[in-house]
Amino acid sequence: DAKTTQPPSMDCAEGRAANLPCNHSTISGNEYVYWYRQIHSQGPQYIIHGLKNNETNEMASLIITEDRKSSTLILPHATLRDTAVYYCIVRPAPSGNTPLVFGKGTRLSVIA
Amino acid sequence: NAGVTQTPKFRILKIGQSMTLQCTQDMNHNYMYWYRQDPGMGLKLIYYSVGAGITDKGEVPNGYNVSRSTTEDFPLRLELAAPSQTSVYFCASSYFPPGSSYNEQFFGPGTRLTVL
């Protein structure tokens, strides 16, 4: 799997957009970008994933650069409940039975 | 649906003791996973299963055993507990295969294990 680089921590004011960056400069053409988050003491939760195009769902938007070497997860109106560790994961697909590999992620603190 | 449930929530073991961490899912998912998470670290895959009777090793399988006799249950066994196994253990399941382009995993609440 391609490796990812994320900042260890970020702060965001409540109600503002939270933009979480992820570098994956060695990504190859068939590798997807996944985002999960983990609220304190809970299991991780799937947020979104994409290949080339930008993606949006009820939780977040995923912006992938044209060269696919980096991406940004956007939480449009962060709330205190969005305080969590956010994991950016790159994986090939289809890839047999290779499961996801979680790194250390970015600890997002949403401040009132 | 209850989703993925894990028992117990907390456990303290003495070195050398054995225990089984239970995991059950009611979503009829074929694919199930066990992860451990050490303080301040990401998750590491211990074992996974692609269906009843089929299991495979992940990144850190040493010191653990699993079985998958039914679709719903995927217990994790620690035979001789060691302090290095102090961690939070998460079980997860997915509808699609682990290698598919859409691999949303559903996680349980975790079991916090301390080995003294």
pLDDT per residue over A22-38, tens digit each?
Answer: 999 988 888 889 999 99
Contacts of A32 in chain B (CB under 8 A): 101
Sign (positive or negative) of CA dihedral A74, A4, B97, B69:
negative
What does chain A come to in residues? 112
Question: Average model confidence (pLDDT) for chain B?
Answer: 93
Q: Which helix (H) or strand (E) holds B44?
A: strand B43-51
Using CB atoms, pick whichever of B4, B43, B104 lies closest to residue A102: B43
Q: Can you name the residues that pair with A85 across neighbouring β-strands?
A: A38, A107
CB of A1 within 8 Å of a chain B CB? The answer is no
Give the pLDDT score at B34.
Answer: 96
- The answer for B84, left when phi > 0, alpha when psi is -120 to 50, beta otherwise, is alpha
Give the pLDDT score at B116.
Answer: 95
Q: The tokens of A28 are what?
A: 């190859």
Interface list for chain B against chain A, based on CB atoms closer than 8 Å: 4, 33, 35, 40-45, 48, 50, 56, 58-59, 90, 92, 97-110
Give the pLDDT score at B73.
Answer: 97
Q: What confidence tens digit (pLDDT) does each residue in B33-83 have? A: 999 999 888 889 999 999 999 999 998 999 999 999 999 999 999 989 999
- The answer for B85, left when phi > 0, alpha when psi is -120 to 50, beta otherwise, is alpha
Q: Can you name the residues that pair with B90 across neighbouring β-strands?
A: B35
Inter-chain CB pairs, A–B, below 8 Å: 66
- Residues with Cβ within 8 Å of residue A87, at least 6 apart in sequence: A6, A34, A35, A36, A37, A38, A44, A102, A103, A105, B42
User: Are residues B94 and B103 in contact, defined by beta-carbon separation less than 8 angstroms?
Assistant: yes
What does chain B come to in residues? 116
Give the pLDDT score at B12.
Answer: 97
Structure confidence at residue B1 as a pLDDT band (50, 70, 90):
confident
Q: What confidence tens digit (pLDDT) does each residue in A43-98 have? A: 999 999 999 989 999 999 999 999 999 999 999 999 999 999 999 998 765 555 66
Q: Which chain A residue shows the shortest CA-CA distance from B112?
A: A41
Contacts of A87 in chain B (CB under 8 A): 42
- The answer for B40, left when phi > 0, alpha when psi is -120 to 50, beta otherwise, is left
For A45-72, give one letter per residue: b (16+ CB within 10 A) or e.
bbbbbbeeeebeeeebbbbbeeebebbb
